[in-house]
Amino acid sequence: MIPISITVNGKVRKAQVEPRTLLVHFLREQLHLTGAHVGCDTSQCGACTVLVDGRSAKSCTIFAVQADGSQVVTIEGLANGDELHPLQTGFWEEHGLQCGYCTPGMIMSAVNLLGDNPQPSEQEIREGISGNFCRCTGYQHIVNSIQHAAKLGPPKGGYVPSGGPASAFAASAASADKKAGAR
Ligand code: FES
Ligand code: FES
């Protein structure tokens, strides 16, 4: 077992994990934060998306030990107390879900999308959520929900909740993105 310390939704969580424990399983099974869903376990569906140091990441592709020292935000940490995040309001107002299985991951990906581009075109929205699958809605209501959030504008502090200081994981992910030519 390996000791880790991860700040999750603003709270430092220390734990012992097996080296093979995936971040999504750590969140769901050890912290009981079940908003991040497991839809495939093969990094395809995006249902497990959370923010790691302010960037959306599929938490089934990260070992919990890799996130040691990171700031993780899950859907449970997105609202500011009783005040919904604009994306949560958008999904509520525009009926951006049916079964809801994809919704937490879809919203967390959209957080990054609006953080990077607060006024995206419809095409940019569709590209921004292309790593997240929805089997119910046909996507149009999801697009409408994100457009609704963009019209509402960012909450105080911006669309992306404060991630705190960047960790070694974020630095290595950023460098991998750079090498891959990602934006
Ligand atoms: Fe992580 Fe599907 S469960 S991408
Ligand atoms: Fe059912 Fe998206 S609302 S998978």
Residue 112 parent element (H or E): helix 103-116
Q: What is the pLDDT of residues 68-92, one digit of tens each?
A: 999 999 999 999 989 999 999 999 9
Verify whether ligand 1 is closer than 6 Å to residue 39 (CB atom). yes
Which structural domains are found in the chain, ordered by start? 2-77+159-166 (3.10.20.30), 86-152 (1.10.150.120)
* Averaged confidence pLDDT in the chain: 91
Q: Which residue has its alpha carbon closest to ligand 2 atom 1?
A: 99
- Give the residue, out of 26, 27, 28, 41, with the most ligand 1 atoms within 8 A of its beta carbon, to mutate for a pocket test: 41
Q: Which residue has its alpha carbon closest to ligand 1 atom 4?
A: 43
Q: Is 50 exceeded by the pLDDT of residue 183?
A: no
Q: What is the pLDDT of residues 102-150, one digit of tens each?
A: 999 999 999 999 999 999 999 999 999 999 999 999 999 999 999 999 9
DSSP-assigned letters across all residues of 134-182: -SSS-SHHHHHHHHHHHHH-PPTT-SSPP--S--HHHHHHHHHHHHTT-
pTM, 2 dp: 0.89
Alpha carbons 157 and 67: distance in angstroms, whole number = 24
Alpha carbon of 24 to ligand 2 centroid (Å): 19
